[in-house]
């Protein structure tokens, strides 16, 4: 996805922020980081056990975080550690980005340690890709800089690309064969740094067009989490080219859309709609409204699982996690009061409707 700092201030800020990457990625002492200390996340926090055992279905919570590949600031990592501490029953689905490893001067062991500081054992390690120039070039792919989400053009040889650039470039501009190289490099890089080998994917800017889906499926991924209800994006990016692309790509996706099977050139994927979008775009009340709409869907047929997906970005976690945490508190309180079996899950618990 794209985060609010990037969105609200346009492409200038990320370029400026790159200047401090060396300090963010390599020079900040890891000793300064508090170790992740959340309790075991093995308990699911489900309520209404009787309902669950007799009726089978659950209201499933998917909490996702998109790692944009831009920076790994202490305040954001600490905010994610706090989320784990406050909600030990929540398993976070991390869409990890290999772009951090390809920044100029990045020290892989330091990057990996900072990423792991925000990941707990019960969490899922998935994959996120933005159109970063250095990442694509590391995969042997010639960078493309136009058009961006905002209708602008990036000059690969311009000042804006000296450190790195391309977060706002939709990766659907590339061929499926080119994308396979980037997906493979990303998977290999993350795995080599003990960050798992992803089975799930979310595309930068939600731009998982068919050629992107073909590439991730061909590289062995199973779950695709990019379908988004564009109604949540209209206020903040409604005038941008990105909005029109997404409105076409994910037509019909709503805040109660459920996982479904989607074909690719090879093996099929389970498409998991990001039906509550991400915290940079939605308020606490909108997240609770999405929960309640999906709860109502669940109550229509308690034999079936119903999924509600909410999330945030690593790069803006300190800013937006408070409103997500407020929403989670209200969701858990409501589920408990109404004896709704409500359980935080990872992708493997999600099945496409038959
Ligand atoms: Zn993103």
Please give the pLDDT value at position 143.
97
Please give the pLDDT value at position 56.
83
From residue 157, alpha-carbon distances to 162, 228, 330 in Å are: 7, 34, 49
Q: Which pTM does this prediction carry?
A: 0.86
pLDDT band (50, 70, 90) for residue 351: confident
Distance from Cα 288 to the centre of ligand 1, integer Å: 23
Please give the pLDDT value at position 353.
61
- Where b means 16+ CB within 10 Å and e means fewer, 28-54 reads beeeebeebebeebeebbbbbeebbee
Mean pLDDT of 67-86: 98
Q: Kindly list the structural domains of the chain, giving each domain's residue range(s) and its CATH number in brackets, ordered by start.
A: 16-44 (no CATH), 57-349 (3.20.20.370)
Q: Hey, what are 313's tokens?
A: 């970005």
Kindly tell me if the per-residue pLDDT of 12 is higher than 80.
no
- One DSSP character per residue, 53-85 reads HHH---EEEEEEEE--SS---HHHHHHHHHHHH
Mean pLDDT value across the chain:
88
Distance from Cα 104 to the centre of ligand 1, integer Å: 20
Distance from Cα 261 to the centre of ligand 1, integer Å: 23
Please give the pLDDT value at position 241.
97
Q: What is the C-alpha to C-alpha distance for residues 318 and 328, in angstroms, rounded to an integer?
A: 16
Range in 28-37, 64-73, 172-181, 342-351 the model is least confident about: 28-37
From residue 239, alpha-carbon distances to 3, 112, 151 in Å are: 16, 37, 10
Mean pLDDT of 305-326: 98
Which runs of E-coded beta strand occur in 289-351? 306-313, 342-344
Kindly tell me if the per-residue pLDDT of 35 is higher than 60.
no
Kindly tell me if the per-residue pLDDT of 15 is higher than 50.
no
User: H helices within 193-267, ranges in order?
Assistant: 210-218, 234-237, 241-249
Distance from Cα 67 to the centre of ligand 1, integer Å: 6
- More confident site: 36 or 249: 249
Distance from Cα 312 to the centre of ligand 1, integer Å: 10
pLDDT band (50, 70, 90) for residue 18: very low
Distance from Cα 99 to the centre of ligand 1, integer Å: 11
Distance from Cα 50 to the centre of ligand 1, integer Å: 39
Mean pLDDT of 274-295: 98
pLDDT band (50, 70, 90) for residue 40: very low
Give, to the nearest 10 degrees, the angle between helix 210-218 and helix 176-192. 50
- More confident site: 47 or 143: 143
Q: Which helix (H) or strand (E) holds 136?
A: helix 133-138
pLDDT band (50, 70, 90) for residue 3: low
Smallest Cα–Cα separation from 64: which of 333, 328, 354, 332? 328
Smallest Cα–Cα separation from 122: which of 78, 77, 82, 90? 90
Distance from Cα 2 to the centre of ligand 1, integer Å: 4
Q: How many residues does the chain have?
A: 354
Cβ pair 38, 120 in contact under 8 A: yes
């Amino acid at each position: 996805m794209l985060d609010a700092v990037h969105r609200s201030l346009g492409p200038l800020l990320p370029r400026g922020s790159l200047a401090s990457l060396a300090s963010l990625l390599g020079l900040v002492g890891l000793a300064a980081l508090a170790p992740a200390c959340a309790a075991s996340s093995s308990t699911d926090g489900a309520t209404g056990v009787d309902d669950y055992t007799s009726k089978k279905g659950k209201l499933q919570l998917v909490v996702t975080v998109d790692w944009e590949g831009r920076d790994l600031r202490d305040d954001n990592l600490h905010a994610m550690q706090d989320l784990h501490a406050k909600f030990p029953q929540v398993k976070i689905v991390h869409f990890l980005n290999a772009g951090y490893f390809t920044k100029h001067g990045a020290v892989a062991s330091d990057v990996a340690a900072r990423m792991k500081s925000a990941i707990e054992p019960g969490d899922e390690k998935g994959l996120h890709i933005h159109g970063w120039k250095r990442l694509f070039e590391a995969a042997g792919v010639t960078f493309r800089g136009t058009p961006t989400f905002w209708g602008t053009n990036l000059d690969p040889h311009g000042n804006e690309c000296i450190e790195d650039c391309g977060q706002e470039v939709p990766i659907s501009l590339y061929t499926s064969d080119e994308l396979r190289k980037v997906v493979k490099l990303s998977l290999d890089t993350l795995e080599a740094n003990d960050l798992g080998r992803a089975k799930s994917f979310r595309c930068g800017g939600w731009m998982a067009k068919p050629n992107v889906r073909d590439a991730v499926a061909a590289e062995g991924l199973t779950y695709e989490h990019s379908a988004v209800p564009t109604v949540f994006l209209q206020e903040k990016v409604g005038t941008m080219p990105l909005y029109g692309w997404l409105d076409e790509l994910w037509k019909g996706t709503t805040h109660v859309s459920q996982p479904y099977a989607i074909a690719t050139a090879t093996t099929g994927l389970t498409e998991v709609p990001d039906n509550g979008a991400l915290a940079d775009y939605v308020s606490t009340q909108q997240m609770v409204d999405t929960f309640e709409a999906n709860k109502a869907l669940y109550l229509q047929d308690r034999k079936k699982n119903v999924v509600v997906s909410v999330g945030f970005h690593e790069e803006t976690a300190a800013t937006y996690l408070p409103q997500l945490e407020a929403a989670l508190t209200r969701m858990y309180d409501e589920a408990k009061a109404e004896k709704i079996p409500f359980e935080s899950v990872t992708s493997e618990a999600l099945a496409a409707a038959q």
